[in-house]
Amino acid sequence: MTVRAGREFLATPGPTTMPDEVLRAMHRPALDIYSEQMVNLTDGLLCDLSKLFATKSRPYIYIANGHGAWEAVLSNVLSRGDKVLVLESGLFARAWGNAASAMGAEVEVLKGDSRRAVQPEEVETRLRADTPHTIKAILVAQVDTASGVVNDIEAIGKAVRAAGHPALYMVDTVASLGCMPFEMDRWGVDVAMSGSQKGMMTPPGLSFVAANERARAAHRSAGMRTPYWDWTERDGAEHYHRYAGTAPVHLLFALRQAIDTLFEEGLTNAFRRHQLLAEAVRRAVTTWGEGGVLGLNIAEPCQRSNTVTAVLVGSGYDPAKLQQYCNEKCGLVLGIGIGDLQGLSFRIAHMGHVNAPMILGTLGVIEVALNALRIPHGKGGTEAAITYLGGAVSA
């Protein structure tokens, strides 16, 4: 017996649930890619992406996922043999560093762990020690989707400047853009990248990169440049240069609608919605944790991301079984544990097109699974989330 009929619900940190209006926006004929309508569509999106990154710089849209945008960033500013400093706080900055290494950069990892955020003081100390300025770029993820940590990008930016180090500060916002504040220019970020399929509520397949003047200066002498990713090529006179070929017309219509939806809600409201729903999830997990088996992965409350929560599962209990029950019996797809937390955790995504019924439904189903699988847990987790929202979302 199952209770999974109807639409499967994705609580995975990418791809995420898309609003119906985003799906509908793609149901149309393709555009003439040389038409004025196409040019206007691109110009409007580039302008709005600048707003989302909070930068005066003009961004680039790639037909690629986040891994593609990582490569776009690296290839545009680095040369083989350049040194890159990866700020570890889970899986994703390290994976970005692995790409850099495969492309011929020398990669140093500033050791962190998957239960806490990057410490800005450690970044400053490491950069001060690099007196010959051999480090050319610093890679960090605002939210590490594996650990559920949020790094303080503003504070790390201050640490970089306090060290007086000229390395480019490059930030991955794949799991945070549109969900949490990000201020590229104000925080001293030189290059920011993101993707379409998480907080941006758009199908997988688009990614975004914004680069400031310092990054463009490095670009001029970068030796890893290749034609498809190259910023100079994409700045070319013709519209088709923007995409280095055929525009991803339908994905652009979807993105247009997603950004319209987001701006209609207002970024401040969207950030607050994410914060409220994330806190509801954390209240539930904390209550379940009273059973001695489950717990929040990130120890420090202010370092917990508002877009994804990694839940640790104590030894003797298999997160894969919980996940399988939620999926096969109830139609809820949870994120699996990845990186250091593989086999030790599951993840609840709460980013993008999420609302109270989706989150409370998700928590409710997890609680059903905890009961069915006899996993010890404090009673009333979903109730704690309900009580919290009832108090925090005023009438």
Ligand X SMILES: *Cc1c(COP(=O)(O)O)cnc(C)c1O
Q: Is 145 an interacting residue with respect to ligand X (CB under 6 A)?
A: yes
Closest CA to 170 of 114, 219, 205: 219
Question: What count of other Cβ atoms lies within 10 Å of the Cβ of residue 59?
Answer: 22
* Residue choice 45, 87, 141, 270 for contact with ligand X (CB under 6 A): 141
Is the Cβ of residue 90 or residue 157 nearer to ligand X in the bound state? 90
CA–CA gap between residue 123 and residue 128 (Å, rounded): 9
Is the Cβ of residue 88 or residue 367 nearer to ligand X in the bound state? 88
Residue 32 beta carbon to ligand X: minimum distance, rounded to whole angstroms: 29
CA–CA gap between residue 384 and residue 280 (Å, rounded): 7
Residue 283 beta carbon to ligand X: minimum distance, rounded to whole angstroms: 24
The residue of the chain with the least Cβ separation from ligand X equals 66
Number of shown-chain residues binding ligand X (CB under 6 A): 12
Closest CA to 121 of 92, 163, 84: 163
Q: Is 362 an interacting residue with respect to ligand X (CB under 6 A)?
A: no
* Residue choice 14, 59, 364, 378 for contact with ligand X (CB under 6 A): 14
Are 345 and 321 in contact, with CB atoms under 8 Å apart? no
* Residue choice 16, 50, 55, 65 for contact with ligand X (CB under 6 A): 65
Alpha helices, DSSP H, located in the chain: 20-25, 36-53, 66-77, 92-102, 120-129, 153-162, 213-220, 231-234, 249-265, 267-288, 319-330, 356-372, 381-392
* Residue choice 157, 195, 248, 352 for contact with ligand X (CB under 6 A): 195
Q: Is 272 an interacting residue with respect to ligand X (CB under 6 A)?
A: no
CA–CA gap between residue 196 and residue 177 (Å, rounded): 9
Are 341 and 145 in contact, with CB atoms under 8 Å apart? no
Q: Is 335 an interacting residue with respect to ligand X (CB under 6 A)?
A: no
* Residue choice 92, 208, 253, 288 for contact with ligand X (CB under 6 A): 92
Binding residues for ligand X (CB under 6 A): 14, 65-67, 92, 141, 143, 145, 172, 174-175, 195
